[in-house]
Amino acid sequence: MESTGNTAAATVAELVRARWGDHRTGLRFATGRLTHHQVAAGAAARAALLADLLPRRGEPHIGVLLDNTPEYPLWLSAAALAGAAVAGINPTRRGAELARDILHTDCAVLVTERAHLPLLDGLELPSVRILVTDTDAYAELLAPYAGAKPEIARTVTPRSRMLLYFTSGSTGAPKAAICSQGRLAAAGGSLVEHFGVRSTDTHYICMPMFHGNAVIADWAPALAAGAGVALRRRFSASQFLSDVREFRATYFTYVGRAVQYILATPARADDRENPLRVGFGTEAGAVDAARFEERFGVRLVEGYGSSEGGAAIRRAADTPPTAIGRAAPGDDLAVVDPRTCRECDPAEFASDGRLLNGSSAIGELVNRGRNPFEGYWRNEEAEAERLRGGWYWTGDLFYRDAEGHLYFAGRTDDRLRVDSENLAAAVIENILARYEGAAAVAVYAVPDPVAGDQVMAALAPPPSTPFDPLAFTEFLLSQRDLGTKMAPRFVRIVERMPVTATNKVARAALRAEAFRCADPVWWRAPGQASYHPLTGADVASLRAQYESQGRSELLP
């Protein structure tokens, strides 16, 4: 493997300093490029500025409220040299919630750009110094530090905080997970070895850098290997392939529905003419991964690592297509029933691959051994919940076969209970993803009028393709692994799947609206096999059923 990186570096700061004097192209973006040396020099100038801006007493934390501009990796590198931590601020947050994220993480400095200044209007941010990168004032502020060299602050150790990245949840304020310099450097080095990253590679970062995926799985291995980085300000499915070709990108990461959106773009005869070697991410699903490889000639590797670092799964050559892999070395992973803390039964499959014992096989993935979880910033209650009974609880549903392969079944709040049978949304989604009339699918629970849940699906058809209820019904009947409780009772037709800022399906919003939404909804009335439009009269009748059972409070 060709590499001029330092995959054994103990800190991110060492990796940044190692690029000093390297005059190969290190950073590509829409309007230009920088060499590795220029990136290191820019980081050194910003680190020197930070040394003067950060308070002598108080936490060395900076907030970064930017799109994927060159300033983002420059400030990550600067923070590493200065021994500061970067809190990635989500630009889709608003008002008091946005202010809360900045203040909760004790940011003394907030780095932003003019496009995001309206988000800060009216916010109370006492003692927060705001730097606006695309202004003359910012350039003047940096100018005196232009000759700085990448020196590592004396306070930097492998345990120094490097990232404070917010983990999303369906309820409550986001939690700021801690990632140290040592853990980030080790993660980058591990991915270099796993994927054979070379110094001649270019990593395409199109996922938002305020999220852990882009920094940990894309930027860190590029830095560790001395590879180049190419930035897309914001993800664009229509520009994905042209970017890849322009930047000569060989590696990219994805989350959520990004792969589905790329697949929904018009196919071209030359789609396979691209330099990509591999894509690494989560939740693409086996069906879409196969479609992506067939169309673009690029292998997608589905991985798993909890956002907080407490558990990881590695894919090997013998991993079944629909599985994620086995536990990473050193992890003692188990699938347990959270009510009893007992291990779930091994998964049993029919000859066609259908899971036969989902109710007893699906449980929460836990790590019973040592793990690198480094806690949440100022949130002891959340830490205790994550580390119940001395185990690390991932909050994710899995099932495990007799050979130890682990299969993702969704988040714990994506479990459905239909007619006393436990179902997992991800299992149903993987089946519905085969339907040619769906560019994207999300499955979630809506309350049943009497007890438990009913299955609802949001379906985004391909462009200019109307929903065909008869074809969808025939598709469902032909799926041998679709259990009798799995077929959706309600189908919401959306023009585009609602997603969070990190391109994960906004399930909380879908669940909250249920079948009382502005989009067209089709449904199967009890005892019927075919789908019909849900009318106002149907909604009134359903509401009466909920009221008669004393469950009307469950409706939004």
10 CB neighbour count, 10 Å cutoff: 15
The amino acid present at 26, given as its one-letter code, is: G
Parallel, antiparallel or unpaired: strands 85-88 and 61-65: parallel
DSSP secondary structure letters along 278-293 = EEEESS--HHHHHHHH
- Residue 488 clears pLDDT 50, i.e. is over it: yes
Q: How many residues does the chain have?
A: 556
Separation between Cα atoms, residue 21 and residue 37, nearest integer Å: 5
Domain assignments of the chain as residue spans, ordered by start: 12-183, 325-412, 419-554
- Kindly state the tokens that stand for 431: 């089946």
What band does 3 get if pLDDT is binned at 50, 70 and 90?
very low
523 within 8 A of 534, measured Cβ to Cβ: yes
The amino acid present at 490, given as its one-letter code, is: F
Calculate mean pLDDT across residues 539-556. Answer: 80
Q: Does 12-183 match 419-554 in CATH topology?
A: no
Calculate mean pLDDT across residues 25-41. Answer: 97
Counting DSSP H helices and E strands in the chain, the numbers are 18, 27
DSSP secondary structure letters along 159-175 = TSEEEEEEEP-SSSSPE
3-class SS at 119? helix
Separation between Cα atoms, residue 112 and residue 501, nearest integer Å: 17
Over the stretch 175-199, which tens digit does the pLDDT of each residue have? 999 999 999 999 999 999 999 999 9
CATH classification code of 12-183: 3.40.50.980
Over the stretch 258-276, which tens digit does the pLDDT of each residue have? 888 899 899 999 999 999 9
Structural fold of domain 325-412: Luciferase; domain 3 (2.30.38)
The amino acid present at 159, given as its one-letter code, is: R
Over the stretch 38-96, which tens digit does the pLDDT of each residue have? 999 999 999 999 999 999 888 999 999 999 999 999 999 999 999 999 999 999 888 88
pLDDT at position 170 is 45
Using the structure block, give the residue that is written with the tokens 């007493």.
57
3-class SS at 398? strand
pLDDT at position 350 is 86
Strand partners, 417: 422
**Comparing C-alpha atoms, which of 89, 115, 336, 333 is closest to residue 211?**
89
344 within 8 A of 362, measured Cβ to Cβ: yes
313 within 8 A of 324, measured Cβ to Cβ: yes
CATH classification code of 419-554: 3.30.300.30
Using the structure block, give the residue that is written with the tokens 């930017």.
66
